[in-house]
Chains A and B, each alone.
Chain A
Amino acid sequence: MERVRAGGQQAMTAVFDRYAGLVYSVAFRVLKDAGHAEDVTQEIFFQLWRNPASFSFSKGSLGAWLLVVARNRAIDHLRQRRPAEPIDEVVVVSATNLQSEAECSILMKRVRGILGDLPQEQQQSLQLAFFDGLSHSEIAERTGQPLGTVKTRIRSALSSLRKRLEP
């Protein structure tokens, strides 16, 4: 990122090469459309190029940060709204290092296993919030569950994931 800040096109292309697949996959999962997912992906990396200061290492690892930004931008796109949060306000604390592809691949498998092990109702609430971009009241309406139950299920799902990923 230092080289990107210094205006290095090659450095920016290298960042794209490493992380564009991850960003695109998240955008595609949300938008279910290759063209829109690529638009979101290109826009995120282009914004990073135009304003490299939007990410600093005090905001976490670049890979984890890009994943959160990708999801948020894809949801904005899905809801056809202006970005709900500027990207430079997103701070991500994560002990993971997604720079190494081998590491990343091992971690992906672990995460999928953990998410698959969650109780069905937690998986459903998390999916509706994370990938479909529904608000808590929309999820309550969709599932017929009280608002408090929806909130608890989402938080429990994230807590379980964090706990099981802890070293």
Chain B
Amino acid sequence: MNDAQHISPDDLALHALQALSPQESAAVREHVSGCGVCRAELASLHGDLAMVALGVEQQPLPAGARERFAQRLESDARAGAVEGKRSEPMSIERTSKPRLATWAGWLAAAAALIVAAALGFEVNSLRARLQESDNKIAAFQASESQAKQVAEVLTAPSAQKVVLTASKTPPAPTGRVVYLASRGGLILQANNLASIPAGKTYELWVIPADGSAPIPAGLFKPDAAGNGSLVLPSIPQGVKAKAFGVTLEDAAGSKTPTAPILLAGAAPQSGE
């Protein structure tokens, strides 16, 4: 199974498919846990398997599946709230004829309940503060990650910088695209754009170098001064671009560009 230092590619593929025997799988798992090379290859094999899965014929979800999921979420959220209440002190029913001898016990229980109630309140308060902090950290991390990506796209030596122009219309609308294919990073800054009718939007397109269909790269509308921009729209990584174009589309955007192409620019060969 091991070729000198690593798991053989054949066995790693079978492991990714869970097609090895339990004993073989355990051996692979143990090796992979301590081997970065095999771990990386296993992750790539999972990527290959994701593509195999993507190739299956698509089926419509059964009727009501979405509603059933939403209801389950709702019940779970409610159950979570009830559980929270369960953690609070429970009330105690009074007996109809309390005996004197039991008063001491009841008083102790009541005292314990008061302490528990106070602790329960404190725990809930701390939990809420912790959640608030978590949310702030998550928001900060997302913002930092976005800023880092913007900086990387703008400063990468291999980023393509393209000026998009329209013909002979003063003041000429222009668009400037910075594109880093390996990261799927793209920034568009457009100026002097004509205002658009209601119900319409501008849409940017990446025209792949391999001749495949144009990829929608985001919708944008100009401000009163005719300026518009797109920052890191959601586009696939690793698409080598031949050109970029901007079209006018319906407000919801389009899956294919509608002629005419209002702004266009070819990508230089030197980019990724």
In the complex, chain A residues whose CB is within 8 Å of the CB of B65: 20, 24, 38, 41-42
Interface size on B, residues (CB 8 A): 65
Residues of B within 8 A of A21 (CB): 58-61
Tell yes or no: A137 within 8 A of B by CB. Answer: yes
Q: Do residues B69 and A46 form an inter-chain contact, with CB atoms below 8 A?
A: yes
Q: Check: B74 CB closer than 8 A to any chain A CB.
A: yes
**How many residue pairs, one in A and one in B, have C-beta atoms under 8 Å apart?**
206
B245, chain A: closest CB distance, angstroms: 15
Interface residues of A: mostly helix, strand, loop or mixed? helix
Chain B residue nearest to A105 (CB atoms) is B255
- Can you list 24 pairs linking A and B with CB atoms under 8 Å apart? A2-B139, A13-B73, A25-B59, A28-B59, A42-B68, A46-B69, A46-B76, A60-B43, A60-B46, A63-B50, A64-B51, A68-B46, A84-B18, A95-B237, A100-B216, A107-B54, A108-B54, A115-B55, A130-B17, A135-B21, A154-B17, A158-B45, A162-B44, A162-B47
**B interface, over-half SS:** helix
**A108, B77: Cβ atoms under 8 Å?**
no
B48 contacts partner chain A, Cβ-Cβ < 8 Å: yes
Q: How far is the CB of A54 from chain B (nearest CB, A)?
A: 15
Q: Is the CB of A92 within 8 A of B69?
A: no
Residue ranges of B at the interface with A (Cβ–Cβ < 8 Å): 9-11, 13-14, 17-21, 25, 39-40, 42-62, 65-66, 68-70, 72-74, 76-77, 131, 134-135, 138-139, 142, 181, 184, 210, 212-213, 215-216, 234-240, 255
